[in-house]
Structure 1
Amino acid sequence: MSEVTTTDLYEVTMAMSYLREGMRADATFSLFVRDLPPGRGFLVAAGLEPALEYLTRFEVTADDVRVFAEALHRPTADLARLAGLRFEGEVRAVPEGRLVFAGEPLLEVTAPLPQAQLVETYLLGQLCHQTAVASKAARCVLAARGRPVVDFSLRRSHGPQAGFQTARLGGIVGFAGTSNVDAAVRLGLDASGTMAHSYIESFPSEADAFRAFARAHPGPVTLLVDTYDTDRGVSTAARVLADLRRGPGCAVRLDSGDLGELARRSRTQLDAAGLSSVRIIASGGLDEYAIDELVRSGAPIDVFAVGTRVGVAADAPYLDAAYKMVAYDGRPVMKLSPAKVTAPAAKQVYRRPGRPDVIALRDETPPPRSEPLLGTVMLNGRRTGPSDSLTAARRRFEADLEALPPGARRIRGPRPPAPTVSERLSRLTGEVRGHLLRDLGGPSTVRVTDGIPPGDP
């Protein structure tokens, strides 16, 4: 049994039927987010790399067929046509780290219909979760305004795989490190960690704990100071660090209470002890909103450690995303369901400096001074180049963030840019809609622009 079985049952039942009917012509599916979640001025495209790894090794084995048959309570022979099916198609996608907006395809798959259908669930699962978390993490970086942010999410993420993904996504959007040892080593990130309250509690006193920890770690240390009383903890940490002459590079960590007020009092104590080089790290339920308030208040916090709220994208934990067929066997197709209308045909997104993006047909002439966002990353089931790097993704993110309009960068009440639709795409949408309505035998309340941004490039 392989990852192929990590799918919804209806993908299997549809693929079975396609094969039975001989429907193997190429289909194009577009993966996009209909609307940005409330409180988001942008999304960070993420999850492409693991999605491509999955497609590269996608093959329905005999064991997979047996699993499908068991789930369907059908004889294995009924699903024999699925055996040996591999992904042999093309993938065009927005590279990781780039900013995207409502209605813009993150990815388009063109492949024989059964193949393109079977990979839907996995692709949505990868891109939706990771784009949501990356976007939340990016807002933390914005809120910190140049102060380091580190990832402490592993223990509260939705499983180890999600924790690894969060560490990786933090690397894309500029986090300074992660507590996740596995991710740090495998991804080349800086590992970051301190101590737990249990460590302090296991010693006769805070001073004993701090001294023992410093003896075990000859370099800079970070001491957790709020196990009993934060003010006394800071005082004890200052005394131990001064006695051991361990100031530069060291830090104290605040994990509870009024972090802004405690940071101010801690800074005063540390400076009075001659430890102005000792940093203050804050953690405990932080996200972009809390970080923004602390920075705006002038709290002397040097590093923010984020965990639970970021690892699960707490305020916007899902995306209203879809993977919809837009063409089959050379014929543009679309969905007319109210509020869920899709635009037909393969597409491209063009980014223009200082102006809204344009969602256009794939083969359209680019608007002046524009760049295409979707590039071909797979052909004939094989990647067109080497795996992307976190460094490259981070550079793309930083460049796009720099060009983002101020209103979209806001932590509270952001105003996301609205892409426009090209005249050709808008016209084709109307033509396909009209043809469908004629076939259905009557008018409809569905408008051409339902579900897609207005067309005014």
Structure 2
Amino acid sequence: MESRFDVKNDRDLSMLVDFYELTMGNSYLEEGVGDQIVYFDMYFRRIPDGGGYCIMAGVDQLIEYLQNLRFTKDDINYLRSTKAFSEKFLDYLSTFKFSCDVWAIPEGYPVFPNEPLVTVRGPAIQAQLLETMVLVTINHQTLIATKASRISRVAGKRPVMEFGSRRAQGYDGAIYGARAAVIGGCSATANTLAGMMFDIPVSGTMAHSWIQLFDSELEAFRAWARAYPDQCLVLIDTYNVLKSGLPNAIQVFKELRAQGHEPLGIRIDSGDITYLTKRVRKALDEAGFPKAIIVISNSLDEHIIKDVLAEGAQINSFGVGERLITARSEPVFGGVYKLAAVEKGGKVVPRIKISENEEKITNPGFKKIYRIYEKEQDKAIADLICDHEETLDETKPLTLFDPVFTWKKKTLKNYRAELLRKQIFKDGKLCYKSPSVREIRSFAIQQLNRQWAEVLRFENPHNYYVDLSQKVWNTKHNLLNHYSDEFSGK
């Protein structure tokens, strides 16, 4: 979704691929299988921070990349200089035209392990070349959106501003992290470029350097009040919160009121949050400013926010930086991109990767995902991964079973099934319109409300079920048995 300012990132990212994607593409072409139709699934295996859900994000940037995928003369010349590629392959890249089909779960949905967030169908060379960009785009933004959701949820109705750009891992981490943070629930960002690019709210107050620049804290506050008389929010912990910052803020607030303006409030960036906010709230109220807000920052995350609120801290809003923009508690989102099927003679032939580690065994075939809701309370019960040709009849009972512990079963009668994924490209042409970031944020909140509280809790969340249809389960185990027999010599 373009900003109303039509600000785009015009960098050419086509060469942002792992080198082996190109060498494999070269080999595919030499072996005559470059145009064979294949299916790749992008999914993740585990939720960060021991959480119960993740928030899907990054689809719009993936769309932007795919719409601009091409190889320039400079790209071709560089690849030729590596002496790793045939001229036949370089000619192929020079006339490259994206022609894949792509499906994705829309941004804002809660998502869970082992379900395909993105599926790519197309010629083997093309589908292989997308691996790095699919992963880096979806992995990063889904990670930050998930962290932001955790922080925003524990803050409740108190707004959370993202302001971690200075601690982000590079420019893109700051810009696209800010976008993902708003999707996850933040009300605003301090990143002005992100605000302009994605049409999201921007916000900010002052740094300690503003206070230090003046001969006195009181003079600094008065100067700020002159500049922003109707939005005056001052930082009161440069010297001493209770003995200096707070009394000076109250004095300036009284001066503002005498001039016909009402102050916005104060911010604290250090110290004992619970103790200080209680003292500050009491003093502001007694001075006649019960509507003045208290904003807190200082290396916050969902656990600190939860603790100080439980202790009775008096806070109206939070500014969260480094622990959000870097997902510091667990900064890696382990999405993978795996071959799931090939087409032969017009038929989809499933492929499987086997591992001694059960979670690394892939789910084969071309699949669709249904989210199953209980009709009465409109709460999600499970996600069901089905073969692409399967449809669910809501008028008939549906039996779900654990794909590992298959004796664990549940039969549903009063349920609703919704297809989770949307097709975003057909034959290389965009066929999906991305919502705005603000719309995605609202959608994410709405969809979280359709999850049970047990799934959303931080401590020991309920394990949300991602089940396989009987057909997909049979396909998987038939392949496992086939390779087991082959390896055992039967």
TM range (shorter): over 0.9
**1:162 equivalent in alignment to 2:180:** no
- The letter for the 1-side match of 2:326 is V
Paired with 1:78 and 1:27, the residues of 2 have a C-alpha distance of 19
Aligned positions, number: 443
Residues 173-199 of structure 1, C-alpha deviations (whole Å, 9 max, x = no match): 332211111122232222210111111
Q: 1:214 to 1:36 in 2, by over 3 A?
A: same
Paired with 1:71 and 1:255, the residues of 2 have a C-alpha distance of 51
**Alignment check: 8 A CA contact 1:289 1:411 kept:** no
**1:14 equivalent in alignment to 2:32:** no
Paired with 2:389 and 2:250, the residues of 1 have a C-alpha distance of 65
1:302 matched residue in structure 2: 316
Range with bigger deviation, 33-42 or 373-382: 33-42
**1:191 equivalent in alignment to 2:202:** yes
1:269 matched residue in structure 2: 283
Q: 1:294 to 1:325 in 2, by over 3 A?
A: same
Match of 2:454 among 396, 407, 410: 407
- The letter for the 2-side match of 1:169 is A
What is the identity percentage for the equivalent residue pairs of Structure 1 and Structure 2?
A: 34
Paired with 1:289 and 1:243, the residues of 2 have a C-alpha distance of 38
Q: 1:102 to 1:74 in 2, by over 3 A?
A: closer
Match of 2:389 among 348, 351, 363: 363
Give runs of aligned pairs for residues 127-138 of structure 1, distance below 5 A: 127-138=138-149
- The letter for the 2-side match of 1:419 is V
Paired with 2:88 and 2:366, the residues of 1 have a C-alpha distance of 36
2:132 matched residue in structure 1: 121
- The letter for the 1-side match of 2:282 is T
**1:379 equivalent in alignment to 2:405:** no
Q: 1:67 to 1:2 in 2, by over 3 A?
A: farther
What is the DSSP-based 3-state SS (H/G/I as helix, E as strand, rest coil) of the residue aligned with 1:419?
A: strand
| Structure 1: 5+ residue stretches without partners | 444-457
Q: 1:50 to 1:382 in 2, by over 3 A?
A: same
1:454 matched residue in structure 2: none
Match of 1:350 among 357, 365, 370: 370
**Alignment check: 8 A CA contact 2:26 2:85 kept:** no
**Alignment check: 8 A CA contact 2:200 2:437 kept:** no
Measured after TM superposition, the shift of residue 5 of structure 1 is: 1.1
1:241 matched residue in structure 2: 253
2:361 matched residue in structure 1: 341
**Alignment check: 8 A CA contact 2:45 2:114 kept:** yes
Residues 287-311 of structure 1, C-alpha deviations (whole Å, 9 max, x = no match): 1111111222221100011110000
Paired with 2:15 and 2:87, the residues of 1 have a C-alpha distance of 15
- The letter for the 1-side match of 2:80 is A
Give runs of aligned pairs for residues 55-454 of structure 1, distance below 5 A: 55-71=66-82, 79-231=90-242, 232-245=244-257, 248=262, 250-329=264-343, 330-339=348-357, 340-354=360-374, 355-366=381-392, 368=394, 369-442=416-489
**Alignment check: 8 A CA contact 2:265 2:293 kept:** yes
Residues 201-260 of structure 1, C-alpha deviations (whole Å, 9 max, x = no match): 111110010001111223211100001101121111111111221763511001011111
1:446 matched residue in structure 2: none
Measured after TM superposition, the shift of residue 40 of structure 1 is: 1.3
Measured after TM superposition, the shift of residue 86 of structure 1 is: 2.4
Measured after TM superposition, the shift of residue 391 of structure 1 is: 3.3
Paired with 1:9 and 1:277, the residues of 2 have a C-alpha distance of 58
**Alignment check: 8 A CA contact 2:253 2:263 kept:** no
Q: 1:133 to 1:267 in 2, by over 3 A?
A: same
**Alignment check: 8 A CA contact 1:55 1:87 kept:** yes
**Alignment check: 8 A CA contact 2:23 2:85 kept:** no
- The letter for the 2-side match of 1:307 is G
Measured after TM superposition, the shift of residue 83 of structure 1 is: 2.3
**Alignment check: 8 A CA contact 1:130 1:166 kept:** yes
Range with bigger deviation, 87-96 or 295-304: 295-304
What is the DSSP-based 3-state SS (H/G/I as helix, E as strand, rest coil) of the residue aligned with 2:465?
A: coil
**Alignment check: 8 A CA contact 1:42 1:416 kept:** no
Q: Over the residues paired in the alignment, what is the CA RMSD in angstroms?
A: 1.8
TM-score, normalised to structure 2, is 0.87
TM-score, normalised to structure 1, is 0.93
